[in-house]
Amino acid sequence: MKTFRIIMAALFGISGIALLFDASSTLSERLGGFGISLVFAYFILPKFLRLILLEKLGFDHSRLNHLNKINQEIEHSAAEKKHIKNELQDLNKQKKKIVHEMDRVQRKSFEFELQKIDQLTQVEFGRYCEQLLKKIGYSDINNAVNSDNQGLDLLATMGTTSYGFQCRKHSSVLGNSIVQQVLAGKTFYKLDKVSVISNNYFSASAKQLAQEGNVELWDRDTLKEYLSDKYSADRNSKNESENLESLSPSIESETVSSEPLPNLIENDDSDWSDF
């Protein structure tokens, strides 16, 4: 390969000399062709011959070596930069995969928690809703359940606004009657707002009646949103090495602390006699 480059450089040099003495061309054309040929001949030469040539022409060999070293460092830095860029791209891909996996695990966790809620009795679901309201920020929560609860299970306040809630754990879609019951309770207790909390969904007619009567419907998706808020708060408040706390019902927890919402599985039919 070196021999080939030397031969090619020699040919460019000879052609440049030939152009210089070409009488058919103008002086500028001859000088231009000669210069271009010499440049090509120089860069085609192997590196060691170029250094020898520059040294013969009076250039300092040590300075040439220094310049060559700087050039190598520049090339190395460029290669290192490219390597770092590739590593960053790989890390970004891994980050996206991790985020995607975390979202998938979180969605499965929500579904698991909702499945656990589905296993609660009506009494347990009412207690679950009571603790959920406390964690959201409602205060003065009273159990309105008795032999004739007028369509509401829980009474609460937030600020100066009074609220009433019916907690309905159901295995199928809820219809109009549930909305009619809370509207009756709103009038009976003279409340500002009323809501229905359910582990299921509401029919189209129930939603229409709720909209006309200004009734808030908390369905399965609403519970999932509150579960999501709970998990986000836990993740921000814990170290990465700790597992996410579950919002699932827990027999031990009765207080409104940072602990998971309680299950309160104990039977309390005296407070929930209408179920």
pLDDT tens-digit profile of 167-181? 999 989 999 999 999
Per-residue pLDDT averaged across 114-118, rounded? 87
**Helix (H) or strand (E) run with residue 151 in it:** none
Average pLDDT, the chain: 76
Angstrom distance (rounded) from CA 230 to CA 224: 10
Angstrom distance (rounded) from CA 162 to CA 160: 7
Per-residue pLDDT averaged across 76-104, rounded? 86
State the DSSP code for 219.
-
pLDDT: which is higher, 233 or 270 = 233
The neighbouring-strand residues paired with 142 are 155
What's the pLDDT score for residue 261? 41
Angstrom distance (rounded) from CA 73 to CA 82: 14
Q: Of the ranges 20-29, 121-130, 189-198, which one carries the lowest mean pLDDT score?
A: 20-29
Per-residue pLDDT averaged across 188-194, rounded? 93
What's the pLDDT score for residue 79? 87
Does the pLDDT at position 265 exceed 50? no
pLDDT: which is higher, 65 or 210 = 210
Predicted TM-score (pTM) of this structure: 0.50
In terms of average pLDDT, the best of 17-21, 69-73, 81-85, 102-106 is 81-85
Angstrom distance (rounded) from CA 152 to CA 166: 5
Read off the pLDDT band of 39 (50, 70, 90): confident
Q: Using one digit for the tens of pLDDT, what is the confidence trace for 132-190?
A: 999 989 999 987 655 466 889 999 999 999 999 999 999 899 999 999 999 999 999 99
Angstrom distance (rounded) from CA 81 to CA 74: 10
Per-residue pLDDT averaged across 229-247, rounded? 48
What's the pLDDT score for residue 194? 95
Q: Which residue has the tokens 């190395």?
A: 76
Closest residue by Cα to residue 207 from 178, 231, 185: 178
Share of the chain above pLDDT 70, in %: 72
Q: Which two tokens stand for residue 54?
A: 């520059």
Does the pLDDT at position 68 exceed 70? yes
Angstrom distance (rounded) from CA 62 to CA 68: 10
Per-residue pLDDT averaged across 71-77, rounded? 85
What's the pLDDT score for residue 114? 83
Does the pLDDT at position 33 exceed 70? yes
Termini Cα distance of the chain: 95
